[in-house]
Amino acid sequence: MSKAIGWSGVFPAVTTQFRPDYSLDLDATHRVIANLVRDGVSGLVICGTVGENTSLSLREKISLVEIAKDASAGRVPVIAGVAEFTSANASQVAREVARAGADGIMLMPALVYSAKPFETAAHFRSVAAETDLPVMVYNNPPIYKNDVTPDILISLADCDNIVCFKDSSGDTRRFIDVRNEVGDRFVLFAGLDDVVLESVAVGAEGWVSGMSNVFPQEGETLFRLAKASRLAEALPLYEWFMPLLHLDARPDLVQCIKLCEALVQRGSALTRPPRLALPEADRRFVESLMAHALENRLALPDVGL
């Protein structure tokens, strides 16, 4: 199945839009998604970390998948994040988003519980067994405290519908370790914005990106240049992008990315509590990064967008 899914390129981790009373704004989220697809992204991840998954109800998650499918109109795959406290709850969400039309799921380790490796593997294995959708294993140890190591991933190679590995550890050597053991069994995705070029260099076929919500054409161009080994063109763009890409590695990445979206009128900065607006000093820092980026925006090489 891993070769058949066709997942490659930039998949923004789409933000979820809220009204001033923190209720879900489906119309605004639809516009965000439609604009990303218009600007040439290769796929969409709904209800990921940046989409504030853990602050959403099951009904809201289903609604977001439905409007993402409508906004994308079959032009790009829609992957739904699944982040739950228990394997049973994750299995239920996986079944529900499949009914809503998701093209795949991005499955996180069980939240809160600091699992041992065999427990982490068992979680992925049991949820995968409850869905026919292709599964992207999501590893983000700085945020979720459970590390899906290469050994854990390799132990799941017999699960046919576990097809993709998104790594946000920042350690790109892991892609080499996986390939040395199981070849191209898994499609590899960069999950941390500020190591995307390095991730492509060691085999990443895709990038689940935070800052490509803000600059989708720059993100897709950077990725395509890297895949084509056009490094002389990629490096100036990477250097321009890097101060903003570092925001994806902060604990408050969601607030940072949504503020950047608001500054270019692609979405709202509002996050649902417990996430609160950035303190003034942090807000000014992000605003200064954005002002510098916009003042020095580069002409993009032709990559077929």
Q: What's the whole-number average pLDDT of the chain?
A: 96
What dotted CATH number matches 9-295?
A: 3.20.20.70
Identify whether the C-beta of residue 146 lies closer than 8 Å to the C-beta of residue 85.
Answer: no
Domain residue ranges in the chain = 9-295
- Cα dist from 305 to 40, 89, 222, 225, whole Å: 6, 39, 11, 12
Which entry of 138, 144, 238, 258 is annotated as an active-site residue? 138
Mean pLDDT, to the nearest integer, of 181-187? 96
Q: Read off the DSSP letter of residue 59.
A: H
Identify whether the C-beta of residue 225 lies closer than 8 Å to the C-beta of residue 234.
Answer: yes
Q: Read off the DSSP letter of residue 48.
A: S
∠ Cα 7 13 17 (to 5°): 140
Tell me the pLDDT band of 3, cut-offs 50, 70 and 90.
low
**What local confidence, expressed as pLDDT, does residue 143 receive?**
84
69 is catalytic: no
Mean pLDDT, to the nearest integer, of 67-86? 97
Predicted confidence (pLDDT) per residue in 14-69, tens digit: 999 999 999 999 999 999 999 999 999 999 999 999 999 999 999 999 999 999 99
**Statement: residue 1 has pLDDT above 60:** no
Which entry of 61, 69, 144, 166 is annotated as an active-site residue? 166
Q: Is 254 annotated as a binding residue?
A: no
Q: Any idea which of 13-27, 137-151, 159-173, 196-210 has the lowest mean pLDDT? A: 137-151
d(CA 227, CA 205): 8
116 is catalytic: no
d(CA 50, CA 140): 12
Q: Read off the DSSP letter of residue 268.
A: -
Tell me the pLDDT band of 142, cut-offs 50, 70 and 90.
confident
Q: Tokens at residue 117, please?
A: 């490796």
Residue 162, by phi and psi: left (phi above 0), alpha (psi -120 to 50) or beta? beta
Q: Tokens at residue 252, please?
A: 């408050």
Q: Tokens at residue 140, please?
A: 């983000």
